[in-house]
């Protein structure tokens, strides 16, 4: 299973490196979201700075939708999905592989967004350890539910509108936990973030487990 996961992850990442859709489209989208927030709440950082954590994570959440859509769009070209099924790869491995690819891209995106938030909203990135921990656990959780819902909606003609509708409500706890953790870190109370980090961890573990188990039946029909 792990070998298959590495295979799929490597494939997805190589496709990304070659096509650079993440770099050319998802990252600029995230930057645009930050700018729009700035326009909506600026021009002073009076409203932006305290809200920096929340705005950061909303931008991440919106970008995850794009990343997941992209992850599954590459499968629908040239009946790649059938090829994937017939290849005999372990479905759990496919889940973990695609998830890992999305998580890697997310982490890079979050680094860029963090810089953007520091620059545009005047946020000081204190408590870096907590910030990082929140990013990792949140990204794993988001990647897991993203792949699950991406697979669920990939067969539909209305998938562009279906995926955000399905994914964003389920991701609400991640938004809550990550924002609170970041808030605690940014305002100099990193110790208080434990509760939120555990929430993020529980979410991540739960949905990685669910995806690993449920991906087999999911792939059968897509």
Q: Give the footprint of other proteins on this chain (CB under 8 A).
A: 145, 148-149, 152-153, 155-158, 162, 165-166, 169-170, 172-173, 176-177, 180, 195-196, 199, 202-203, 206-207, 210, 214, 217-218, 220-221
Residues 6+ away with beta carbon under 8 Å from 63: 26, 29, 30, 33, 106, 109
- Which C-beta is closer to other proteins: that of 109 or that of 171? 171
The residue whose two tokens read 């555990």 is 198
Residue closest to 53 by CA, chosen among 179, 199, 165, 216: 179
Q: Residue 174 CB, nearest distance to other proteins (Å)?
A: 9
Question: Measured from the CB of residue 203, what is the shortest distance to other proteins in angstroms?
Answer: 6
Q: State which residue, 22 or 141, has the beta carbon closest to other proteins.
A: 141
**Smaller CB separation from other proteins, 38 or 173:** 173
Nearest approach, Cβ of residue 189 and other proteins (Å): 12
Cα angle 116-119-123, degrees, rounded to a multiple of 5: 100
- The answer to whether 22 and 71 have CB atoms below 8 angstroms apart is no
Nearest to other proteins of 94, 199 (CB atom): 199
Nearer to other proteins, 30 or 193 (CB): 193
Task: Specify the length of the chain in residues.
Answer: 222
Residue whose tokens read 């973030």: 193
CB of 119 to other proteins, least distance (A): 28
Q: Tell me the C-alpha distance between 90 and 212, whole Å.
A: 10
Class of residue 118 by CB neighbours under 10 A (exposed 0-12, middle 13-18, buried 19+): middle
Tokens standing for residue 63? 């970008």
Closest separation in Å from C-beta 19 to other proteins: 28
Minimum distance, C-beta of residue 202 to other proteins, in the bound complex (Å): 7
Of 25, 29, 9, 23, the C-alpha closest to 143 is: 9
Strands (E), 39-96: none
Residue 56 or 207 having the CB closest to other proteins: 207
Which of 6/162 has CB closer to other proteins? 162
CB 66, min distance to other proteins, A = 18
């Amino acid at each position: 299973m792990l070998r298959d996961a590495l295979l799929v992850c490597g494939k997805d990442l190589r496709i990304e490196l070659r096509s650079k859709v993440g770099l050319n489209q998802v990252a600029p989208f995230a930057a645009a979201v930050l700018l729009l927030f700035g326009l909506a709440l600026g021009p002073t950082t009076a409203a932006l700075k305290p809200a920096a954590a929340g705005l950061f994570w909303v931008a991440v959440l919106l970008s995850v939708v794009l990343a997941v859509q992209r992850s599954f769009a590459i499968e629908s070209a040239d009946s790649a999905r059938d090829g994937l099924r017939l290849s005999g790869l372990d479905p759990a491995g496919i889940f973990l592989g695609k998830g890992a690819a999305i998580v890697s891209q997310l982490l890079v995106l979050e680094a860029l967004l963090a810089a953007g938030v520091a620059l545009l909203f005047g946020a000081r990135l204190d408590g870096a350890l907590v910030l990082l921990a929140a990013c990792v656990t949140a990204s794993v959780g988001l990647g897991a539910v993203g792949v699950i819902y991406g697979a669920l909606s990939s067969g539909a003609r209305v998938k562009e509108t279906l995926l955000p509708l399905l994914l964003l409500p389920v991701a609400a706890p991640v938004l809550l936990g990550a924002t609170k953790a970041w808030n605690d870190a940014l305002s100099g109370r990193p110790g208080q973030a434990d509760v939120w980090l555990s929430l993020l961890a529980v979410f991540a573990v739960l949905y990685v487990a669910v995806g690993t188990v449920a991906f087999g039946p999911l792939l059968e029909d897509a």
